[in-house]
Structure 1
Amino acid sequence: MTTALDAWSRDVASETRAAGARILVVDDDAAVRQSVAWVLEEYGYEVVAVPGGGGLLEQLDGDGRPPDLLLLDILMPDADGVQLLERVKSDERWRDVPVLMLSSVPPEEATVRTLGLGAADFIRKPFRGRELVARVQAQLRAGAMLRATRESLLRAEEELRRARDDAESRRRLVDILHEVTSDIAAHEVYHVLARRVARALAVSHCSVILARPGDTRGVVASAFESPKHQNASVELDDFPEVRRALETGEPVLVEDVATHALYADGRQALGLDRTEVPVRSSIALPFAIEGGQAGVFLLRRTREQPPLGREDVAFAEAVISAAVSAVQRAQVIETTRADNARLAQLATTDPLTALLNRRALTERLTREMERALRNDSSVALLLIDLDHFKRVNDTHGHLVGDAVLRDVAELLISGVRGSDFVGRFGGEEFLVVLPDTDDDGAAAFAERIRERVEAHSFAGRDGAPPLHMTASIGVATFPAALIESVEDLFARADAALYRAKAEGRNRVRA
């Protein structure tokens, strides 16, 4: 008979085998290594077992590529797991590898310390197979997202370097791009170039018309002679040299509109707003920006000016080529900044709930404790654990469990002040930090949270009755006796949470 567990196992196995992740397991206990390998290999992972911490760095140095995940025991006879974690995270080659710490005892101080050093999660031995697989999958997904974002950023930075090199190689040819700096937006480059090219070539009209081959209309991105025409729509039939440049992809020189074949129909005057302009000659220079805009730089001189010639085409073509590099560079800078912002968010937030992750929580809480000491104030820490959450995953599945965690995150966010911050401590544990809050205020706030969770109806499976959850909350405040560090404050809140659980759950303890 096929059970729900069998189906879940097949789905997970299919997903993970497709990923082909490689996991390094470091533990001095052969039984632990064998059981971890057995569980993970069942789900298609490649597992490499290292007997003790002494061989970890040698294994990492000898591998052709870093592992996708590292499972590292905290306590080993031949090595200190915390020191090994610190060495791994300080090495540029391995800093992005997610590390799950293993321990057979609940060393709260070591747990907090390892998280502060960059560990992704903590698993207590003896572990449960499904919990191990779920935590491994979560960290592999987060690690893959981080690597993809970093690779994208590196590609963008490389493109930026190439663009800068290209612009620098043309710097001695023209002085036009001096106004184009790293702070200029891509769309502003057109205005800079229209003005500087017009002055350098002494042309009365210099416009940038955005269009692609086959278009019948274009859009004026910039017009030196009349800025009011920016974003105006124009008929390309009025600009035969523009249409020809788009079709051929080559510069078009019209030395005299009175005799050139493009004007055989007798039109000898052009204007962006159809006003008669006594044009004598023109140059249309097509451009295309990789993955972006395309169009034509249109340069024109009137009958009172000398006609444009081949030397003007060569000069303008060099300028426009550099301009395209400048536009691409500006776009790469804008993209790089956006990628940096996304990378920063990914590094500080929990992917499931979008709350602060452990690393960010530790950093923020450290700053709040320092501020409390400076200002002679206090800061409260609430450690919140959902009661019997495992039953939700076991009975209703992980999708429902994930939805419950997201709902709890929203409940917490909606109930805090602007100065407070909320994070996911791991699994079904959440953390709320309340600056400028004493013991009584923290206890009252925690009680409101407990009541809100108890009163909330969480969505179950489609068509199933709603779920009802409760939460146990441990409260600690700083300053307080024997609390000198973030680790001490975490330990105090965790001890209070343990008492709340031991005394029957669904209650607040300090």
Structure 2
Amino acid sequence: MKDTKDIIIFDPHIDGKRLNSITSALKKKRYSVRGFRTVEEYSLHIERSKPDAILLRLPEGLSAKNLKLFTDHAPIIGVLDKYEDRLIKKAFKAGIDEFVMLPYNAAEIHLKVECCLRKQLRNTELERERKHLKAIVEITSLASSTLDPQEILYLIVKKIAEIIPVIRCSMIRVDNEHRYAHVVATFESPRLKSITLDLNKYPEIREALATRTPVVVNDIKSDPIMTDVRDLISPLGIKSIIVLPVFYRDTIIGTLFLRTSRSGREFADHEIKFCSRVANTSANALYSAFLFEKSENEKIHLGKLAITDFLTGLYNTRYLYHRLEEEFSRSHRYNIPLTCLMVDIDLFKRINDAYGHKTGDHVLKEFAQILKKNIRKSDILARYGGEEFIILLPNTSKKGSMSEAERLRLCVKNHKFKTLKGKQSLSVSIGAATYPHKDITTNDELITCADTALFNAKDKGRGKVVVYK
């Protein structure tokens, strides 16, 4: 706030001597007074400087043209040479509710100006509070209508940036090791997220993390917190920074922080309080959204576990039969081929006997990855049991099954297993069966025929591919 208040007196009848007397008396009250007799003089001045208050001679100042010019700039105090009910009522309608009587009295002017400025400040604060409360109600309402944390986070930073002039406003999540922070929402764009920040370059976030309290950097050039990074930040034009932990029942929600910064001037107390209110108000909705997201992720994880073989990470037999039924039905409906490959590691028992079951498990994992890397995205690979695996190949003919099975057999043969001494290789036997076939009318029969072909491959000496005929 400036030290000297600028006061304008608009009075067509004021003389220079009286104006000088008032100016001199009010100068002691730290008032700078300028007098104008014509609208033209006032208009030229107002383009260069905005006053804190205007003393307007009535009734001259109440013309529609003059009134619009004056009321746009500052609080107005009416100047009367006598009380007239009609004139005062007209002034009230125009928004003038403070008056001084002629002759001008410096003490009375000082009192009325201070009264107007206090009233203006109170109205400004009330209007600001109304806007802040409206914004908080909107955030609460919208945040309660969604269970998407990302949507809530963006809503928070967007609303803050609408109310407070800032150059950055972000929600930040800190990793468990407290080495990096991740921007999870920023007001510039709802799609802009997952930006990684090195916490060594953000001491204000480290301070908020350590103290679990809001951190306000009023001036990065002088605040000791910013000493180590001052040279990095200064060229960015940032003057002030706020970092607020987002709490729910005294717990920081997933080490979530609201960080905002601005250039030009430091944050006012009411702006800091508004940001803090938004963070606190949103915490409940955010916590519910995070719980919902965690629950959904756990459902997805449990769902994945239910269809996954715990050792190899491939699909299990439960999922295999589910997909087999779907693919067989599709193959039958559209008359397209479906091939089943049954793959078995030859003499796998010898590995368990020679190296132990733990090494055998590692071999199975490595073997599963070989198969996974060498099949198409449309193929379905599952562990059938023990050292047996099944691959379903949609839209693959009998001829194609032979070439595909042989390709996989050679991939395994040429691979040196890291978990075996001397990086030995292994051989596999593969049985293939393709629908349509006269012996295959159900999905179970497709598996049975592939199993029969596998048995024949082993019977012929292992390390071979046999297609069911």
**What TM-score does the superposition give when structure 2 sets the normalisation length?**
0.49
- Structure number, greater radius of gyration: 2
**What TM-score does the superposition give when structure 1 sets the normalisation length?**
0.46
